[in-house]
Amino acid sequence: MDIRQQFGCIIRDIRTGKGLAREELAFRAGMSVPYLSNIERGRSSPSLSLMADLARALEVPLVELVKDILLDDAVTKATDRKRPKDE
């Protein structure tokens, strides 16, 4: 499972564990329901500020959203990302 999918599963697990509908979490975090759905399915990667909004909306520390992510799976994808060009 890649890093985006892992993150999405964590968000969904915390959300459902707190009994929140996707619509309620999206409202609390100030994002659209389709975008939250894409995050939960591992199709979108939120920015750090949106991760903080999600943590606030879920009433958990930000670290709670990433502490169980396995980086071994992410390493194989690192070469697929675009890197900034050196100036």
Give per-residue burial for 43-63: e unless 16+ CB within 10 Å, then b.
Answer: ebebeeebbebbbebbeeeee
- Does 64 reside within a domain? yes
- Does 87 reside within a domain? no
Give mean pLDDT in consecutive 10-residue pieces for the chain, a chain of 87 residues: 95 97 98 98 96 98 95 59 66
Amino acid 71: pLDDT: 86
- Does 14 reside within a domain? yes
CATH code where residue 12 lies = 1.10.260.40
Amino acid 72: pLDDT: 75
- Does 86 reside within a domain? no
Amino acid 1: pLDDT: 87
Amino acid 74: pLDDT: 47
Tokens of 50: 């949106």
Q: Are 69 and 7 in contact (CB under 8 A)?
A: yes
Provide the domain limits for residue 47.
Answer: 3-77
